[in-house]
Structure 1
């Protein structure tokens, strides 16, 4: 029986890391309870990644983005109706 080659894991991309960080904030208990979160781009994050994710969030039905004067963004969302 041939040995399977070990899978090499690639490092996450900068946008994947940013997405994971924002997802952690949005999925936090306080944000979920209040259906709102305020997020900021970290100094070491790439502006193009931030812009791409903000556009994707803004294009999501039921999610609303308000850009703040200090560079952050306030997100709030509707809770989907249960069938």
Structure 2
């Protein structure tokens, strides 16, 4: 009978900390195309989010210039922001010039 090999973590694999997971989730929510169009997002605290991690990430967001934060009754947080100068510039529309068919 063969012995079961002990499962080892692959070399170089790095487990994410709680604050890294929360920061990544919040970043993805803020950068989501819908959030970027509407310029607001509501972040809900998950059961997996620890007190220390939640407070640290919310504290960093609160200190970020250009973000308005609203603490909601259900313990979620709504972030709102204004368009940056780069987002306000007019969109250039390229209109191709119609050329007569070569035949």
TM range (shorter): 0.7 to 0.9
Aligned to 1:44: 48
Q: Gaps (5+ residues) in structure 1? A: 1-5
TM-score (norm 1): 0.85
Aligned to 1:54: 58
The number of aligned residues is 78
TM-score (norm 2): 0.70
Q: Which has the higher contact order (CA 8 A, sep 6+)?
A: 1
Structure showing greater radius of gyration is: 2
Q: Gaps (5+ residues) in structure 2? A: 1-9, 87-103
CA RMSD between the two structures: 1.8
Structure 2 counterpart of 1:76, from 57, 80, 95: 80
| Divergent runs of 4+, >2 A | none
Instruction: Return the alpha-carbon distance in structure 1 between the equivalents of residues 78 and 49 of structure 2.
Output: 18
Encode CA deviations 1:4-37: one digit per residue, 9 max, x unaligned. xx96132111100001111111111111100000
Instruction: Return the alpha-carbon distance in structure 1 between the equivalents of residues 83 and 57 of structure 2.
Output: 21
Aligned to 2:100: none
